[in-house]
């Protein structure tokens, strides 16, 4: 099986779905932000603060190279900007999790740990800035996707079925 690579905007539910997919299909899930945090022994927020965004993007590319070389038969959830790596398509089947900005914004801000979720995301500081970034990226996500899954108002088990069906 080719890797399943979940892309999409911050807060759309890539990590949650990756773990649910892994549990259902009995294969491992890895997350690019987690890989970067363990490689650097730093939190993403700290990397942005201390080293800047360009440095973080270079780490994403390094992670993409490592994944393409070393990871097979897995589910890969990614940071919201990971889709820009040069070798994205060589990593696996690209599944774009799609939702309107306001739905995503509500999902984050109305969640139990909303404060924590916003705090750990340096690019999700205000509604205005996050919306601007979303508007810039939305067409690009669609362009690189092999599969597009509309995630709004669907329960996780249904989405898991939909994704597994779409990649089989």
Which one among 122, 131, 148, 156 touches ligand S3P, defined by CB under 6 A?
Answer: 122
Which DSSP state fits 11?
Answer: T
DSSP string covering 90-129, please? HHSEEEEEE--HHHHHHHHHTSTTHHHHHHT-TT-SSHHH
Which one among 75, 79, 96, 160 touches ligand S3P, defined by CB under 6 A?
Answer: 79
Which one among 3, 22, 64, 80 touches ligand S3P, defined by CB under 6 A?
Answer: 80
Give the binding range for ligand S3P (CB under 6 A) out of 21-29, 78-86, 88-96, 148-156.
78-86
* Tokens 């440095």 -> residue: 55
For residue 92, state whether it binds ligand S3P (rule: CB under 6 A): no
Enumerate residues 34-53 that contact ligand S3P by CB under 6 A.
44
For residue 6, state whether it binds ligand S3P (rule: CB under 6 A): no
Cα dihedral: 61, 66, 68, 73 (round 10):
-130
Judged by CB, which is closer to ligand S3P: 24, or 120? 120
149: part of which helix (H) or strand (E)?
strand 147-150
For residue 81, state whether it binds ligand S3P (rule: CB under 6 A): yes
């Amino acid at each position: 099986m080719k890797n399943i690579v979940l892309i999409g905007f911050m807060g759309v539910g890539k990590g949650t779905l990756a773990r649910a997919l892994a549990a259902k299909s009995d294969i491992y899930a890895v997350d690019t932000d987690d890989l970067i945090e363990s490689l650097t022994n730093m939190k993403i927020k700290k990397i942005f603060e201390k080293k800047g965004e360009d440095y973080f993007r270079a780490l994403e590319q390094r992670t993409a190279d490592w994944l393409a070389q070393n990871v097979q038969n897995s589910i890969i959830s990614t940071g919201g900007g990971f889709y820009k790596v040069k070798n994205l398509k060589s990593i696996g089947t690209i599944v774009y999790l799609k939702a309107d900005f306001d739905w995503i914004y509500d999902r984050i801000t109305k969640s139990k740990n909303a404060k924590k979720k916003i705090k750990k995301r340096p690019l999700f500081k205000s509604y205005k800035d996050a919306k601007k970034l979303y508007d810039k990226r939305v067409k690009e996500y669609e362009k690189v996707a092999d599969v597009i899954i509309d995630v709004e108002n669907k329960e996780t088990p249904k989405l898991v079925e939909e994704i597994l069906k779409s990649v089989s």
